[in-house]
Structure 1
Amino acid sequence: MTVRADDKTAERFQPAAHVAPDTFANKLLFNGRMLADFQLKTIHRHLKRFLPGVTGTIVDVGAGQSPFKHLLHKKAARYVALDIYTADDFGYRNPDVVQFDGQSIPFDANSVDAVLCTEVLEHVENAQALVNEMHRIAKPGAPVVITVPWSARYHYIPHDYHRFTPSRLANMFAGFSSVRVQPRGTDLTAIASKMIVAYLRLLKPRYRFLLPLTLLFALAFAPMLAVAVLVGHASVHLGIGSPDDPLGYTVWAKK
């Protein structure tokens, strides 16, 4: 299928790319975004348990603008950002990135101490081949941590190919010595996230002449948005809701 800019499936709402909190302004943006971006919040929450303890070389596959690099111990870890040749086309500007074709990772077998891959596999047509490459480059016993969305809109159209169940993820990582699939958030987190996205769309209507009307709706529904944000945070921190329909999943694997 060829997707044109005027197709009904074309992406009309696309949040800005995540930025690394490497300046004061970016720290404010990053932390402010986590107040309402539960995909970012839940990923950050999980990676805070992992990245500070990494030592040696870690490869971030599909690094984008390296939004989680700051969680690493600066002296203990050597961070390598890896992304596709056309990453700039998706709004990513990372001068330190190592470029590759999206399939064959340009590192020797058994050469890296850890692998990270956040919200990338859904954009890879042959995701299993990329998982196999992560396994190949990791040293024996090295941790490989990936995140994927579950409840997420069709995005980066047309390069959005998959939504992975825990069963499928377990099969994909079957070649590793251990694998655990952990949900990120619950169904209440997903509902809150959907409500926030729907609200933000009111602020950017498809037709500009509708803006006054959508702003009135936005004002009227502001209290409901505040409730959604509170419910979202409660579901993340207290585990309220069902984990069977979460925002996404984190795979904790070890070669």
Structure 2
Amino acid sequence: MTQRVTNIERFPPPPNLPPPTTSAGRLVHWLRRSLDLPVSSLYPHLAAWLGGLSGRVLEVGCGAQPYRHLLAEGCQYQGLDWEGVKSAFGYMVPDTTYYDGSVFPFPDYTFDHLYLTEVLEHIYDLVPFLSECRRVLRPGGSLFLSVPFQARYHYIPHDYWRFTPAALERLLSDVGFQHIEIRPRGTDISVACYKILCVLYRWLLGRASTKLLGLLMAPVGGAALAIGHLSLKTGLGSQDDTLGYIVVASKC
């Protein structure tokens, strides 16, 4: 008997928002980022890449623009997102063009750089989408993207794929990107710690009985968080099983 997969997400991921301007808000933002090992595995790589850019920059699937503040001063930022985000997530933000999810509403060769973080797994038609990314980049322009590998089913039902390095390289080279560099984010130890934290998150948001269990297991969660961050910093463990991947490529 086949079990029907639910399209209801009981425990959605916490929103990924830009840092507030107040000291207390920045502290809360730092804590939220620290508790999220996949975001922690992405943040330093993206900060280094964005901080070295100049010219026109497009963020595809920009959401609430959580990483825009990392851009180098003087960059011209443009966000792009699906027109359904307001009904799905309840927000619309400035400097963002909302579109129907097909052809990007920009001329060829518009941008010097393009980035998307944890977006590709939500795109069903990958080749047309990546072709659009390449089309709007000028010759010599660069692409940065991140994808999850070990992540729970999220933003249901719009979560379609998990990618290996071989798949990422083939997808990007097939649409014309070159100089493709793929880096793992974390190790199998990072993954194990992340899974423990996901279970605790689910327990703490669940019924009274599971909340109590989550509180009792909080020391285990603290240890998992510490070991997870240690694995991110030192590379402890095997990179054959990882939280996700970062890809940098260029259009020649």
TM over 0.5: same fold? yes
1:19, 1:26 within 8 Å by CA — same for their partners in 2? Answer: no
1:121 CA drift (Å): 0.9
Residue in 2 that maps onto 1:49:
48
Equivalent runs, 1:197-208 vs 2, <5 Å: 197-205=198-206, 208=207
Secondary structure at the counterpart of residue 235 of structure 1: helix
* CA distance in 1: counterparts of 2:179 and 2:250, whole angstroms: 5
TM value normalised by structure 2:
0.92
- Secondary structure at the aligned position of 1:65 is classed as coil
| Greater Cα offset, 9-18 or 156-165 | 9-18
CA RMSD of aligned residues (A): 1.6
Distance 1:94 1:22, change over 3 A: farther
| Partner amino acid, structure 2, of 1:183 | P
Which runs of structure 2 are paired with 1:63-212 in the superposition (5 Å)?
Answer: 63-75=62-74, 77-91=75-89, 93-96=91-94, 97-174=96-173, 175-205=176-206, 208=207, 211=208
Structure 1 residue 92: Cα displacement: 5.2
SS at match of 2:211: helix
**% identical equivalent positions:** 36
Give me the whole-angstrom Cα distance separating, in 1, the residues matched to 2:70 and 2:43: 9
Deviation at 1:129, TM superposition (A): 1.2
The alignment's TM-score, normalised by the length of structure 1, stands at 0.91
**Distance across 1 between alignment mates of 2:108 and 2:78:** 16
* Number of equivalences: 244
**How far has the Cα of 1:95 moved from its partner?**
2.4
Q: Which runs of 5+ in 2 are unaligned?
A: none
Name the structure 1 match of 2:249.
Answer: 253
Q: Is the 8 A contact 1:17 1:92 kept in 2?
A: no
User: Structure 1 runs of 4+ off > 6 angstroms?
Assistant: none
Distance 1:151 1:181, change over 3 A: same
Code of the residue aligned with 2:225 in structure 1: it is V
The residue that corresponds to 1:14 in the other structure is 12
Q: Note the alpha carbon deviations across 1:182-214, whole angstroms, 9 max, x for none.
A: 111111111111111100111122xx4xx0x22
Within 1, Cα distance between the matches of 2:53 and 2:17? Answer: 21
Amino acid at match of 1:19: L
Q: Match of 2:66, SS?
A: coil
